[in-house]
């Protein structure tokens, strides 16, 4: 972090809708708060597995509430997140590993595209309900996010390489070490120690802890 600025890390997966809300809100706060925001693409599946966590919608009453909550949050944050009745089937039927490896490859090679690319993945998955697991869809998403074709092609070729797999694994492990059990996991490095905040609804608390 630059002098006197608080480093705030956002560990996220584009399959997580609450991560999108936290991402957009933190992108706005970045202009007001004295923070350096660092995006940390990680793998939600790995975090759920390692901590024994289960998707909240597996509890029907909680699933019912989440649909309503997500609609309210999307409206409040003005993020074009759509919750349809089959949102959870859509979610459960998708593996985000390829997408997160692609995003990780871009983070390693051309990090200036990380923000627009991540946003476009959320747009496709949570606003347009499109598939984000197939290579041709991933390339279309990258193109829409403004990435040159040769960069996307190169990143796609990198997704099965050890450096990319290791980087995604390491970032996920780092989130776990901070105490993450789901996404989004927001870690503020303040007063010489990391402070973990879970979810997109703890940002006023985050502000208070870091003196904003």
Q: Which residues are catalytic?
A: 16
Q: Are 141 and 120 in contact (CB under 8 A)?
A: yes
């Amino acid at each position: 972090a630059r002098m006197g600025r608080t480093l705030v890390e956002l560990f996220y997966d584009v399959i997580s809708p609450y991560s999108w809300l936290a991402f957009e809100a933190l992108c706005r706060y970045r202009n007001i708060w004295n923070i350096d925001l660092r995006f940390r693409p990680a793998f939600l599946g790995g975090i759920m597995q390692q901590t024994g966590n289960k998707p909240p919608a597996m509890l029907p009453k909680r699933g019912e509430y989440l649909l309503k909550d997500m609609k309210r949050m999307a409206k409040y944050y003005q993020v074009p997140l759509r919750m349809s009745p089959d949102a959870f089937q859509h979610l459960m039927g998708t593996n985000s590993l390829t997408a997160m490896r692609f995003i990780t490859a871009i983070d390693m090679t051309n990090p200036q595209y990380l923000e627009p690319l991540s946003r476009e993945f959320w747009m496709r998955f949570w606003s347009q309900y499109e598939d984000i697991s197939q290579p041709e869809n991933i390339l279309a998403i990258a193109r829409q996010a403004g990435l040159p074709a040769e960069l996307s092609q190169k990143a796609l070729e990198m997704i099965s390489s050890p450096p990319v797999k290791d980087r995604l694994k390491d970032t996920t492990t780092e989130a776990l070490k901070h105490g993450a059990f789901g996404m989004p996991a927001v870690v503020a490095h303040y007063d010489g120690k990391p402070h973990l905040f879970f979810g997109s609804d703890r940002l006023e608390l985050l502000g208070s802890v870091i003196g904003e």
